[in-house]
Amino acid sequence: MAAIEATAELARGSHSASGREQAVDSLRLLVQRANGAVRGRRERERALDDQEARLHGFDGPEAGAVRELIAALRGAAVELPDDLDRRVGSALELEGRAQEAGYVASELQRALGELGYELGPDFETVLVDQGFTDFSRPEWPGYAVRVRVGGRPPHLDFNVVRGASDRIDQASRDREVETEFCDGQGAVLAKLEKGGILADRTRVVGPGEMPIEIVAAGAPEESREVSRPAARERER
């Protein structure tokens, strides 16, 4: 602004036509540059506004990190990162998956609770944050069903697990528990459907067709071992 004012004063004070013309040309160029800078700042702010608007309704850590980046860019005289659009898109993808998984986990918790299954503390939170958790029935001492959630659209994997045991009839008891869970899956699916989740079987391994997964005794939820392929799979 000071340069424009100085050039304008020079144009007014010039005693020759050529001097005034040169000063006017310089003034015109400075004004054009100033207007261009203003337009550039406005376009930059609009671009940041548009990216921030895409994050509306997403309050998870990924969206929060991108919002912090956008806030920092507003106060910095730097070019916008070339990958800003990609960062926002990646955050939206992760947030969308988390929201969908959270809804599925919530409805599964409701369905299992209504059907009399025993659920661990913070079932929904653990399932979403850790990716898996366990539930059981009073008549299955030493056994549980491990459920995993993942993918998009979210899919649920179920398989029966147990602690270490050396029963004489171990194989028979394993098949018995797996059979009971398989027989009860239809009721679980019906409950999920009432909550707006349509689930179809995509793969089924029958009772006894694979060795049962052994987990840490007394702490199945704390075991982070990678399991065998899920014996029961549901896909939303």
Q: Report residue 224's pLDDT band, with 50, 70 and 90 as the boundaries.
A: very low
Q: Are residues 22 and 118 in the same domain?
A: no
The residues near 210 (Cβ < 8 Å, ≥ 6 apart) are: 228, 229, 231
Give the integer Cα–Cα distance in Å for 137 and 115: 10
Instruction: Out of 95, 127, 150, pick the residue that ends a domain.
Output: 95
Q: Are residues 8 and 27 in the same domain?
A: yes
pLDDT of residue 80: 85
The answer on pLDDT for 33 being more than 80 is no
The answer on pLDDT for 95 being more than 60 is yes
Instruction: Kindly report, residue by residue over 41-77, the tens digit of the pLDDT.
Output: 788 888 888 888 988 888 888 888 989 998 888 877 7
Structure tokens at 11: 């144009």
Q: Are residues 227 and 115 in the same domain?
A: yes
What is the signed CA dihedral for 178, 180, 185, 191, rounded to 10 degrees? -140
Q: Are residues 130 and 154 in the same domain?
A: yes
The residues near 144 (Cβ < 8 Å, ≥ 6 apart) are: 134, 135, 136, 160, 161, 162, 215, 220
pLDDT of residue 222: 35
Q: Are residues 85 and 185 in the same domain?
A: no
Instruction: Kindly report, residue by residue over 126-149, the tens digit of the pLDDT.
Output: 998 888 999 999 999 999 999 988
Q: Are residues 198 and 129 in the same domain?
A: yes
Instruction: Kindly report, residue by residue over 20-32, the tens digit of the pLDDT.
Output: 566 556 656 665 6
Q: Are residues 209 and 148 in the same domain?
A: yes
> What is the rounded average pLDDT of the residues 189-209?
78
Which has the higher per-residue pLDDT, 203 or 10? 203
> What is the rounded average pLDDT of the residues 173-178?
91
The answer on pLDDT for 194 being more than 80 is yes
Q: Omega into 153 within 30° of 0, i.e. cis? A: yes
Tally of structural domains, the chain: 2
Give me the domain span that covers residue 210.
101-235
**pTM of the predicted model as reported, rounded to 2 decimal places:** 0.64
- Distance set, CA 84 to CA 38, 52, 58, 67, 189 (Å): 22, 11, 17, 11, 41
Structure tokens at 88: 């926002």
Instruction: Out of 95, 123, 141, pick the residue that ends a domain.
Output: 95
Q: Mean pLDDT for the chain? A: 77
pLDDT of residue 113: 93
